Amino acid sequence: MRNYPERSSDLQSKPMIILKGGLFLLLGCLSAGLLLSSIISFRNVFLLGLTIWSFCRAYYFAFYVIEHYVDDSFRYSGLIDFAKHWIGRLKP
């Protein structure tokens, strides 16, 4: 586990971190339910699930696989930093 510098604005409370994760899950379930309620079909449910799974895997790839197996010298703080770093590597 890495030792990242602590900032006073970081969320430190474990119950609040769990609550935040639960709220994200609730928001995702509610938005998926509302989206599918108007166009429910097996195809749409499958495609929405595949979309969510694919984006989760891409996020995991960007922040874990790249950092641990491809370029362990750079720490990404977000997707924008990730994109800037890789675009910068493409320039001669």
Q: Per the structure, how many domains does the chain have?
A: 1
Whether residue 60 lies inside any domain: the answer is yes
Whether residue 9 lies inside any domain: the answer is no
For residue 85, count CB atoms less than 10 angstroms from its CB and return exposed for 0-12, middle for 13-18, buried for 19 or more: middle
Whether residue 7 lies inside any domain: the answer is no
Distance between CA atoms of residues 20 and 73, nearest Å? 30
Per-residue model confidence as pLDDT tens digits over 60-88: 887 777 777 776 776 767 778 778 877 88
Whether residue 2 lies inside any domain: the answer is no
Per-residue model confidence as pLDDT tens digits over 31-68: 888 888 888 888 888 888 899 999 988 888 877 777 77
Whether residue 47 lies inside any domain: the answer is yes
This prediction has a pTM of 0.57
Whether residue 40 lies inside any domain: the answer is yes
Whether residue 8 lies inside any domain: the answer is no
Identify the domain containing residue 27 by its residue range.
Answer: 14-90
